[in-house]
Structure 1
């Protein structure tokens, strides 16, 4: 069996993909701060151009906040069919080099090029060729990370963005990781980074100093993952047939929530995260689940499934709030709320298909 150290992994990530497609197709938008998404009160930014990012505009940010940060921001309605078509073009280029392609969304993927269709020995050269081919065919730029595992390849692709690539060789992995802030680790979100900081862990070197048992005590199974990546170890293979089954988001509150209005407001960031993922990937779901964890760690979930995919952020919120309020009155305070979508489907409803709710 091939060891992880022998692998040659590329992480390809399109630069500001949705916004770049819009700037490509609408020359008047070039050089301007652009946000793909809705500008209405409950709108969410699905993607932001690099001009917008200079003002602090980010994907998953509420549109009203984005507009406040950048008054000149131009909102563009998403065109997911166009993005999917471009994504298919890019995927076809990948397939000329390898069959081991693991898509993460429409705009990024892992490629295992250890053995490849072109019989090329240099993964760095393959990444350069692929990026050149993408630009030639789509007039869009991509960034790439090249390394011996997925964790490092993902980190590397962010290192020279936009329109660049970076290589982390086997002997460079541990040193590269030890200098990073834990908040920059792929797989460690802001909440976990804050918890690590509270434990006195700020860098990869700090993380490496903790025994695996201690990390597991604080973070459960994820502790073993943190222990491994602090040593630049990641044995996960590139999974060509990987299909994501659900998308979800959770928030743990510093103080327990008890009032209905607090709970409904507390659920909103989770819904924003879930819907932002739907907008980025063009994938919708038919099952909505709301998760509640009480102060004593008792956990409940409530779900509802529909015949057709949930079509909007508003509908996602409506059903989620209905599921949440079905638990009222609450017997005790709530320390965590979560929302998720499952039964994911990237296909559009067929003409004449009867939906359970209007678009």
Structure 2
């Protein structure tokens, strides 16, 4: 390399795009009345968790991964909405489509962020990169209607830091020549991979900035943070980051879990909850066209003691009846004394599709036995007492795994509801928190068929969303991203003209009722 910014072809440019406050921004876009108001997305129950917070809510100290009760105390005037995962996934697909048009290879980090390394920028000047980033942000806004922040630098770590510096709705290019000056004064926690524990360990020895970490002897860092993690983080602090931008590996595990508003104390309730969770896991397993051999159940008690149990089947299966039977049996041994606060089910050990046969294996008192295979439609087998009425589709986090740092971060953000979460091959990073506190796929309470945040449609008033319901009445704000702020109408909760609607219609003008 002839010089830091000499324009030679060996200069590398990695870009990181991050959708600003993605979940909350989607809600503000598709529900224009909320555009400039504080919004919290997440579970509203006593154990609900914030999945996303708008910048207007963050001003008051609310943030992702915070208990919803705490966030509401900090920002009592915020609008609280349940997550709409299918809508977030649809918009995410459009964002990734734009990135694919700008670069032949992209590395999604989560539902709302990704890295690219466009070959056309190899050896480019900072001004050329800035122009590229401006075009990218414009394209994303034109395609989705949403703001995005873009950072660019010599590697993934610098690009990620640059996008953080650019927020909200900005662009930051860290030229190679200014990289050291920009990184040095930043808090050491700005490095992706340093969490509360490692951050505190460094603080105790007076290392509170990236510059001070970079100035340390590598052996000393390894002694404090561990050989592998310490060595990698020391390199990143010095701006050395040669990790390639590459597509993410296939998921090694598919899981779903639920935190209950009240602890489950009866095994019948545990069995029902496990069956419901298995439906979510099975839906994703079938969608991926894969089969699994290993089923794992996690149970967390009211005093936060976690027990896990696993079992591996003789051959891969994707039969819901089989997976549910195994999970239920495991739950009986995983659940200890006292109530159950959280239950989770995961499947792994993926293999080829099961052989074409009329029978599959299910556990019995004598071991594994043949049983008629269930239909592949995803219906719950007879006797489970559950009805499938749709679900959230793919789950997503607002922040995702660290881009191959090799470190296992210590804290998560962007917690989701009870939905399927794919665990990629790469190590988990900031934002891969457990799915707690929400039940977006549950049936409405038959006594109160409407809940705040529901998408509805009316033949006269069009598409809208429920602002509140009770005493036989329902208040609906009729508006979409295409209409701008709309009117509020209060209707009879039993009005036959009012029906549930696809959340996508709040975003796509062509799908919006008129």
Q: Shared fold (TM-score greater than 0.5)? A: yes
Question: What SS is found at the alignment partner of 2:119?
Answer: coil
- 2:175 is aligned, of 165, 169, 176, to 169
Residue 160 (structure 1) shift: 1.9
In structure 2, distance between residues paired with 1:163 and 1:192:
30
Which residue number corresponds to residue 22 of structure 2?
Answer: 17
Contact 1:4 1:234 in 2 (8 A): no
Residue 175 (structure 1) shift: 2.1
In structure 2, distance between residues paired with 1:54 and 1:176:
25
1:152 aligns with 2:178: no
Give the structure with the larger helix fraction.
1
Contact 1:5 1:148 in 2 (8 A): no
Question: What SS is found at the alignment partner of 1:158?
Answer: helix
- 2:222 is aligned, of 203, 216, 233, to 216
Residue 7 (structure 1) shift: 2.1
Residue 321 (structure 1) shift: 12
Q: Write the mapping of 1:187-202 to structure 2, written as runs, cut at 5 A.
A: 187-202=193-208
* Compared CA separation, residues 131 and 321, structure 1 to 2 (3 A): farther
In structure 1, distance between residues paired with 2:206 and 2:199:
11
Which residue number corresponds to residue 141 of structure 2?
Answer: 135
In structure 1, distance between residues paired with 2:297 and 2:23:
26
* Compared CA separation, residues 155 and 5, structure 1 to 2 (3 A): farther
- 1:80 is aligned, of 85, 97, 115, to 85
Residue 241 (structure 1) shift: 3.7
1:108 aligns with 2:113: yes
Structure 2: give runs of 5+ residues left out of the alignment. Answer: 1-7, 256-279, 301-305, 313-317, 321-329, 338-343, 351-375, 387-441, 443-514
Question: What SS is found at the alignment partner of 1:103?
Answer: strand
Contact 2:224 2:230 in 1 (8 A): yes
* Compared CA separation, residues 321 and 198, structure 1 to 2 (3 A): farther
Which residue number corresponds to residue 232 of structure 1?
Answer: 239
Which residue number corresponds to residue 7 of structure 1?
Answer: 12
In structure 2, distance between residues paired with 1:79 and 1:158:
25
In structure 2, distance between residues paired with 1:357 and 1:228:
55
Instruction: Show CA shifts across 1:164-209 (max 9, x none).
Output: 0101111222222211111222221122111110122111222123
Contact 1:289 1:301 in 2 (8 A): yes
In structure 2, distance between residues paired with 1:151 and 1:210:
19
- 1:354 is aligned, of 380, 384, 391, to 380
Residue 211 (structure 1) shift: 1.6
Which residue number corresponds to residue 364 of structure 2?
Answer: none
Question: What SS is found at the alignment partner of 1:55?
Answer: coil
In structure 1, distance between residues paired with 2:332 and 2:33:
40
In structure 1, distance between residues paired with 2:214 and 2:198:
16
Residue 4 (structure 1) shift: 11
* Compared CA separation, residues 246 and 228, structure 1 to 2 (3 A): farther
* Compared CA separation, residues 168 and 357, structure 1 to 2 (3 A): farther
What RMSD in Å do the two structures reach over aligned CA positions? 4.0
* Compared CA separation, residues 342 and 226, structure 1 to 2 (3 A): farther
Residue 244 (structure 1) shift: 5.2
Question: What SS is found at the alignment partner of 2:216?
Answer: coil
- How many residues are matched? 293
Contact 1:150 1:236 in 2 (8 A): yes
Contact 2:253 2:347 in 1 (8 A): yes
State the structure with more CA Rg: 2
Contact 1:33 1:72 in 2 (8 A): yes
- 2:62 is aligned, of 57, 66, 78, to 57
Contact 2:210 2:237 in 1 (8 A): yes
In structure 1, distance between residues paired with 2:348 and 2:45:
28
In structure 2, distance between residues paired with 1:102 and 1:218:
31
Structure 1: give runs of 5+ residues left out of the alignment. Answer: 249-277, 292-299, 310-318, 327-338
1:125 aligns with 2:131: yes
Contact 1:5 1:170 in 2 (8 A): no
1:98 aligns with 2:103: yes
Residue 324 (structure 1) shift: 7.8
Residue 130 (structure 1) shift: 1.2
* Compared CA separation, residues 200 and 4, structure 1 to 2 (3 A): farther
Question: What SS is found at the alignment partner of 1:179?
Answer: coil
Residue 154 (structure 1) shift: 0.1
Instruction: Show CA shifts across 1:300-357 (max 9, x none).
Output: 9834479699xxxxxxxxx99974849xxxxxxxxxxxx9967499xxxx85333889
Length-normalised TM-score, structure 1: 0.70
